[in-house]
Amino acid sequence: MLEFLLSKIDVPYRYTTVASFLACLAIQEALSPWLSRRMTSSYAQLSSVQQVEWDNRIMSIAHALTASFLSLLAFFVDEGLTPDAVRRLLMMTGSKKTSQAYKVNGILFVLTFFVFRIAVIPWFWHNWLFRLTVNPDYYLPENAVPLNTSISEGIIMNVLNSYWFVRLCIVTWRHLSLSKEHDE
C-alpha cells in the first residue's frame, strides 16, 4: 500500500481525490452546520441524527451542483475535440471546402449530432418522468433545488441542442445545394 501511495503514477488523481474528500468533509462537518444554524432556528432543535441527515443533504446538494458544473464544463470543452469538427477545420484551412470529402464529413457530422444529441431527447425525458412517478422522494422539499436544477439544465441543453441541430441542417443544406449549382 505504501508503494502505491509513494509511486508517481496518477499523482493528480490522488490529489484530486484527497481534495474532494476533504471538501466534502468540510461541507458536512463545518460549513453546513454553521450555515444551517445561522439560516434557520429549527436546525438547533433537531436531534443529532436529524442534524447529520440534514448536513448530508446539504453536502449532497453541493456535490450535485459541482458535478453538474463539471459535466457542463466537460461537455463544452470536449465539443471542440470531436473528430468531425477537427476534420472540418483541417479541410477548411486547406481550402478544400468544395471537395467531396468535405461534403461527406458535413453529412456525417449532422448525422452524428442527431444520433447522440437529438435522438436521445425522448429517452431522456421518458426516464425523468418515470423516475418522478415512481419515486415519491423526489417531491420532498429538500429535493426541490436539485430537482429543479436538473430539470432546468435538461430543458436548456435540449433546447440548445435542437437549435444547433436546426442550424447545422440549414448550413449543410445550403452548402450541398450551392455545390450542386456549382457542379452544373
Rounded to two decimals, the pTM is: 0.50
> What are the tens digits of pLDDT across the range 83-108?
666 666 666 666 666 777 778 878 88
Domain with 137 in it: 80-184
Count how many residues are written for the chain.
184
> What are the tens digits of pLDDT across the range 110-164?
888 888 889 989 988 888 777 777 777 777 777 778 778 888 888 999 999 999 9
Residues 51 and 106 in one domain: no
Residues 12 and 95 in one domain: no
Angle between helices 144-183 and 48-79 (to 10 degrees): 10
**pLDDT at 17 > cutoff 70:** yes
Residues 94 and 178 in one domain: yes
**pLDDT at 81 > cutoff 50:** no
> What are the tens digits of pLDDT across the range 27-48?
989 999 999 999 988 899 999 9
Residues 89 and 62 in one domain: no
Cell of 122: 425522448
Residues 57 and 94 in one domain: no
Rounded-to-integer distance, Cα 104 and Cα 71, Å? 30
CA distances from 24 to 30, 38, 55, 70, 73 (A): 10, 20, 11, 16, 21
Residues 26 and 60 in one domain: yes
